[in-house]
Structure 1
Amino acid sequence: MALDKTIHSAFARATGPENVIDDPVRCRAYECDGLTGYRVVPDLVLLPRDAAAVAAAVRVCAEHGVAFVARGAGTGLSGGALPVADGVVISLSRLRRILEIDPVNRRAVIEPGVTNLEITAAAAPHGLYYAPDPSSQQVCTIGGNVAENSGGAHCLKYGFTTNHVLATEVVLPDGSIVTFGGDSPEQAGPDLRGVFVGSEGTLGITTKITVRLLPTPETVRTLLADFPSIGAAGDVVSDIVAAGIVPAAVEMMDTLAIEAAEQAVHAGYTVGVAAALVVELDGPVEECEVQFDQVKRICDRHGCTRLHIAGSAEERAAIWRGRKAAFAAVGRISPDYFVQDGVVPRTRLGEVLDRIAAMGKAAGLRVANVFHAGDGNLHPLVLYNAAAGETERAERLSAQIAELCVELGGSLSGEHGIGTDKACSMPKMFSRDDLAVMQRVRDAFDPDGLCNPGKVLPTPRLCGERPGPYRPHPLEEAGVIERL
């Protein structure tokens, strides 16, 4: 049942009528996030301009029992920002101010609509930067990063979003405003900041974030190495870590991912090679030089067929452009694809990649692999053709890959979140008691279940009738009826 005019008017008063979208065509732009296979058109989209308007909108939701979903840039890949039918989307895209850069205390205060890369750009004149760097960092926003506890290529050395957020101002589901955390990394009492970061928008909406800034490294050394097999590249990763070296990043791409990236950005990768590693070290000059020589020797020992060392900032940027373009670039070699996100122990990388290849072959589908090899965070991309009726097979294979990661001692997600996509797989990783405790925490924040419902935790509705890829009714295919 659509929201009535009284509720529409209440939202208009809360945010200003010019900040309410009720046109179904315009609302359709918010029907999904980066996981485009699942779509729900919201009844309303709200575009508040400040924290007070966000809180006022949430109070209207609480008063009238309206479900709401917070949304940043919509780059998430797990359906975490999927709208709720007859609910509202609260977009934070207009909360875009950088409120403070504090070089003395090495921190920044920003609103949730600021993009990840804008933080570093603002801090750079002070010799500082923001370390977490998702591949979508040019467009993804810090509010979404907080919701998903995003990582990025450099999380091996520097950690995830939670390691860099000092405090977050939050609008709770009753419309009250609180602050979790403070100016220092450690606070007395329960770590509510830690509970909130990574809660995928199910506990409230962040409206202001204080993040740590780090000094720009003295030097950075980057190499791109080709290998005749995935196994050889995986052995290099293990040997680097065993040598006591902690690179800033270790990334791996397979043949399909390299082919797609080269078609898209021409970064200088070798098309047709079985695997490529991007290894980056940063820190003091002397330390980097010694460790970089060790890394080169390890690569040679495992049959490296080409070793390209970035000789300039431009060459380093080209190498990273190839890696960070991989997800979007896969669209050049497949009409449709699912991006999966799971974690396995580093020692089982070879095993899991062999199993994924076998599963893809059995399903008759190709799987491209690009991932954070240093911490075992996989991003298999299941390629399929929806027009050829391959959607259900691809969806099933994607879920099986996530659950395989759990079977091998890992987890369902490293940084993309559970969202809608993997909620039904949660019992594969957590016991009934574990899930009950999570639900109790969620209920403590949101007793009425209005804040991003249907995400993360499995429910009978979600797992029995969850929103999925649109499948036309037989009468529609016959031309008797049409979809509106």
Structure 2
Amino acid sequence: MRDELAPLLGPDGVLEHPAQRRTYAADGLAALREVPPLVLLPSSTEEAAACVRACRRHGVPFVPRGAGSGLSGGAMPHPDGVLIGVARLRRILDVDLANGRMTVEPGVTNREISAAVEGHDRYYAPDPSSQIVCTIGGNVAENSGGVHCLKYGFTTNHVLALELITAEGEVEWLGAPTADSVGYDLRGLIVGSEGTLGLVTKVVVRLLRTPESVRTLVADFTTPRDAGDAVTAITASGIVPAGLEMLDHLAIQACEEDTGVGLNRDAGAVLLVELDGPEAEVDREFEAVQACCREAGATAITIARDAADRARIWKGRKAAFAAMGRLAPDYFVQDGVIPRTALGDVLERIADLSSEAGYRVANVFHAGDGNLHPLVLYDGTRPGEAEEAEKVAARIVELCVDAGGSITGEHGVGADKACSMPAMFGEEDLAVFERVRRALDPDGLANPDKVLPTPRLCGESPGPYRPHPLEEAGLAERL
């Protein structure tokens, strides 16, 4: 396969040297690693389709990869397959300001989309914390959200159409460059499928008009429960903030140490609230939000003075994951979802788990939509710590499901949580998922062993088998 693709992709489009391949061994979940046997780097849809067709002819699995910033092991290579990187497909193909849309290749970063129309009163709403590096192809795969997903939704709400290379190597357009398309929503089926249904090579995204007014505040609280009460009060009032984020005390320490943006190190939790829209409406609701925070016990409220001040505040929040390196050399990040009203109870249960296990847990949340990002801190150089920290992370997932929530909100299932799927879905549900997958990928070559539980993933690789925490709890079986 290498010999037939090398002339097409060029000398630097087929990576065989061990040092080059090792670069692609993991995504943002570095605890799961697998050096790919071969890496292919196409520069066009035609080249990418040729790679997929070659994989099908030879019966070789393929794993799509964007920037590698995902946090669920979704881009972890297959030991018997090839990795197809799309980082070289990074052109902005069309900007249609009149109709509020843009067509891009999957290697374009999230931030580059808004930057391309910054002077034209338009922007792209989904904004993951990694937006300066994560690509739109990865955002489509994971159905990424970001700090403004409470009001504006996730990637699926902002992708109008996409070009897909099916697992059989055919190039198809799904969706339409309009708000509504006729027929089955196959576009929606692909968004969030984590590369298991094919390879996306073009995306038509929706551009929104820049809001007339934006106002942002930071409220300090003594405890996360108090901050959670403020979240409940704000949403119960009917106000839908553009962003409603929370950091607990440990997360504040890390972010402030890393960025020095001025968060209160003494606070037990801080709430970041941003409103946008018509100026009169924003001013009225901004006063109501402050009242909700005070009634919930806010000890201080700091209001951003201007756009630069807002950017400073969000810099602190978006640095949260990277800042954890200030506290520990390694961490597991979870991505569970709970009902907003359960926020205080679940946080207390996470604190109890942390105390019992002896591992610190920093909490960062999209509090407005109940999406938690607990970070379990550990030192991987100490024998047994990685395994124990992983158990704590898995138990946090169980807490979210027990509270009526989900095992993931925006980071995806990937390899990390595939074995946790039975905690949330029954056998019939999983069977339906598998039937859909096989309908589009009969040979099971597109990103195999991801999302759905498989024998290899749930215990046999990487490394020697050890029981998953969900197995030990009786919530899953080794197939």
Give your verdict on TM over 0.5: yes
Instruction: Pick one of 386, 399, 402 that aligns with 1:407.
Output: 402
Please name the residue that 1:35 is paired with.
29
- 1:469/1:28 CA distance change after superposition, 3 Å: farther
Please name the residue that 1:216 is paired with.
210
Instruction: Pick one of 368, 376, 380 that aligns with 1:382.
Output: 376
Instruction: Pick one of 314, 325, 341 that aligns with 2:319.
Output: 325
Q: TM-score normalized by structure 1? A: 0.95
Please name the residue that 1:291 is paired with.
285
Please name the residue that 2:474 is paired with.
none
Please name the residue that 2:182 is paired with.
188
- Compare 291-300 and 13-22 and name the one that shifted more: 13-22
1:23 equivalent to 2:14? Answer: no
| Counterpart Cα distance in 2 of 1:90 and 1:125 | 35
1:39–1:469 Cα contact (<8 Å) kept: no
1:107–1:212 Cα contact (<8 Å) kept: yes
Secondary structure of 2:407's match?
A: coil
Structure-to-structure mapping, 1:11-160, within 5 angstroms: 11-160=5-154
Secondary structure of 1:151's match?
A: coil
| Counterpart Cα distance in 2 of 1:335 and 1:183 | 45
1:37–1:468 Cα contact (<8 Å) kept: no
Deviations 1:433-476 (A, max 9, x none): 000000000001111111101100001222121326999xxxxx
Please name the residue that 2:469 is paired with.
none
Instruction: Pick one of 434, 441, 444 that aligns with 1:439.
Output: 434
| Counterpart Cα distance in 1 of 2:465 and 2:257 | 30
Please name the residue that 2:299 is paired with.
305
Report how far residue 71 of structure 1 moved: 0.4
Secondary structure of 1:224's match?
A: strand
Please name the residue that 1:360 is paired with.
354
Structure-to-structure mapping, 1:419-458, within 5 angstroms: 419-458=414-453
1:15–1:57 Cα contact (<8 Å) kept: no
Structure 1 unmatched ranges of 5 or more: 1-6, 472-484
1:38–1:469 Cα contact (<8 Å) kept: no
Structure 2 unmatched ranges of 5 or more: 467-479
Structure-to-structure mapping, 1:226-241, within 5 angstroms: 226-241=220-235
Count of aligned residue pairs for this structure pair: 465
| Counterpart Cα distance in 1 of 2:340 and 2:60 | 44
Secondary structure of 1:387's match?
A: coil
| Counterpart Cα distance in 2 of 1:172 and 1:66 | 14
| Counterpart Cα distance in 2 of 1:336 and 1:269 | 24
Deviations 1:169-223 (A, max 9, x none): 0001111000110012322221100100000000001000000000000010000
1:273 equivalent to 2:267? Answer: yes
Secondary structure of 2:365's match?
A: strand
| Counterpart Cα distance in 1 of 2:462 and 2:208 | 41
- 1:193/1:338 CA distance change after superposition, 3 Å: same
Moved over 3 A (4+): 468-471
1:253–1:275 Cα contact (<8 Å) kept: yes
Report how far residue 300 of structure 1 moved: 1.2
Deviations 1:27-60 (A, max 9, x none): 0000000000010000111110000000000000
Please name the residue that 2:473 is paired with.
none
| Counterpart Cα distance in 2 of 1:121 and 1:43 | 37
Report how far residue 304 of structure 1 moved: 1.0
| Counterpart Cα distance in 2 of 1:159 and 1:341 | 17
Instruction: Pick one of 254, 274, 279 that aligns with 2:248.
Output: 254
1:225–1:307 Cα contact (<8 Å) kept: yes
Report how far residue 400 of structure 1 moved: 1.2
Please name the residue that 1:345 is paired with.
339
Identity %: 60
Report how far residue 14 of structure 1 moved: 4.0
Q: CA RMSD in A?
A: 1.2
| Counterpart Cα distance in 1 of 2:23 and 2:380 | 21
Report how far residue 272 of structure 1 moved: 2.7
Secondary structure of 2:23's match?
A: helix
- Compare 386-395 and 137-146 and name the one that shifted more: 386-395
| Counterpart Cα distance in 2 of 1:146 and 1:432 | 27
Please name the residue that 2:386 is paired with.
391
One-letter identity of the residue aligned with 1:449: G
Secondary structure of 1:287's match?
A: helix
Please name the residue that 2:471 is paired with.
none
Q: TM-score normalized by structure 2? A: 0.96
1:37–1:469 Cα contact (<8 Å) kept: no
| Counterpart Cα distance in 2 of 1:67 and 1:411 | 29
2:65–2:83 Cα contact (<8 Å) kept: yes
| Counterpart Cα distance in 1 of 2:443 and 2:318 | 40
| Counterpart Cα distance in 2 of 1:270 and 1:464 | 43
Secondary structure of 2:117's match?
A: helix
Secondary structure of 1:86's match?
A: coil
